[in-house]
Amino acid sequence: MKKRKLFIKKALITSLVLCAFLCSCASTSEKIVENPIIEEQIVEPAVPEPTAEEIFLQKISDYSITFTNVPAKIKKGKAFSSDFEVTVLNSNSEPVEGLEICFEYPSKKSGSSLSFENLIVLSDENGVAKLSIGTVKFAALSKVTAYPNIPDGLNISQANLIAQTAYADFKVESDITTKGAIMFVFEYTESGKPSKNSYEILSAIRKKGVTAGNAPISDTDYINASKEKIYKANYQYISDQLDMFGYLIGGTIKFSSPVEKTDEGYVAKLCADIYGIDMKTGEVIYEETTETEAFGSNWNYAVSNCKDKLIQLSVDSIMFGL
């Protein structure tokens, strides 16, 4: 009897231990279910699609555009001897075919104001695009610009194409060397009083091969007259000599401000207001204001240096503007 009771007691204890173990496992299992480990998911941001503007700029980013032929200067009323020509290459120095090149060039002149036109030309198999300009009926010292044409609908300014833009000189000289001129460019003193008809301008024009002489009208009577009055007064004197004096060049040379003394010396500032009139028509076809400054060790040197510089600039402007 005692052995049986002991066996029952041991069996009971074993059952209780087993039950406790199972309950413990069940409890642990429930905790795992109630608190699962959630892995954090990383979401990659969406990459925006490139715009049409970005696609175009990327396409031309490695292109270079260079003027490979620029015709020499001509005189008004003539045509350039050859075409303006650009060559388009990629980053491997290979020609780019089929690129639309926009040429922007002077096309008209009203008074002294130039108007420009655009012409679009496709580059050929050699990467070459050419601009042909016919007879030019006006004088100008300007530029021809070439850059990739911006397709319709794209919001791109020409400023975005600076790296792919090329420039060439557009030089059309006045026919003043064959038509001649009379001069009425008056100089003023530092105090603002009229002094004399500018011999320096007259001499510089003559050195360019121009038949030129002083205007026949009285300086004192016409110094403040209108351009129209000055033209009509001169026309009365030279109406039978228009083949020799086809233009009237008028204007003033004045001090922009009094000569200034500095620690290094003196500085002078002068301004030239010059205009040109066609003596046959009376039309004002040229107007230009040029201002410059120069230094000198004394007053005379500063003024002389400044005047020399101003006259050279003004005469060059007249030769390509009249």
- Maximum alpha-carbon separation in the chain: 165
pLDDT at position 46, please? 78
Mean pLDDT over each residue of the chain, to the nearest integer: 88
What is the torsion angle, in degrees rounded to the nearest 10, for the CA atoms of residue 23, residue 26, residue 28 and residue 34? -140
Q: How far is Cα 253 from Cα 197, in angstroms, rounded to an integer? A: 10
pLDDT at position 16, please? 45
pLDDT at position 19, please? 46
* Average pLDDT value for residue range 18-45: 55
> Does some domain include residue 301?
yes
pLDDT at 29 over 80: no
Question: Does residue 159 share a domain with residue 103?
Answer: yes
Q: How far is Cα 85 from Cα 76, in angstroms, rounded to an integer? A: 21
pLDDT at 316 over 70: yes
pLDDT at position 196, please? 87
pLDDT at position 38, please? 59
Domain finish residue from 121, 146, 173:
173
* Average pLDDT value for residue range 264-282: 96
Say which residue, 2 or 255, is predicted with more confidence.
Answer: 255
With residue 269 as reference, give the H or E element that holds it: strand 266-278
Question: Does residue 123 share a domain with residue 135?
Answer: yes
> Measuring CA to CA, which residue among 156, 275, 286, 278 is closest to residue 225?
275
CATH of the domain at 222: 3.40.50
With residue 84 as reference, give the H or E element that holds it: strand 84-89
> What's the pLDDT tens digit per position in 45-59?
777 889 999 999 999
> Measuring CA to CA, which residue among 79, 158, 146, 83 is closest to residue 118?
146
Instruction: Give the residue numbers spanning the domain of 229.
Output: 177-319
- Cα 260 versus chain centre, distance: 34
Q: How far is Cα 22 from Cα 9, in angstroms, rounded to an integer? A: 20
> What's the pLDDT tens digit per position in 117-157?
999 999 999 999 999 999 999 999 999 999 999 999 999 98
72: exposed, middle or buried (Cβ count in 10 Å: 0-12, 13-18, 19+): exposed
Q: How far is Cα 269 from Cα 266, in angstroms, rounded to an integer? A: 10
Question: Does residue 210 share a domain with residue 119?
Answer: no
> Which phi and psi (to 5°) does residue 265 adopt?
150, -130
176, 322 Cβ separation under 8 angstroms:
yes
Question: Does residue 229 share a domain with residue 136?
Answer: no
Domain finish residue from 173, 208, 242:
173
What CA–CA distances, in Å, run from 3 to 7, 8, 14?
6, 9, 17
Which of 43-47, 219-223, 245-249 is predicted with the least confidence, judged by mean pLDDT? 43-47
Residues 6+ apart with CB under 8 A from 208: 176, 177, 315, 319
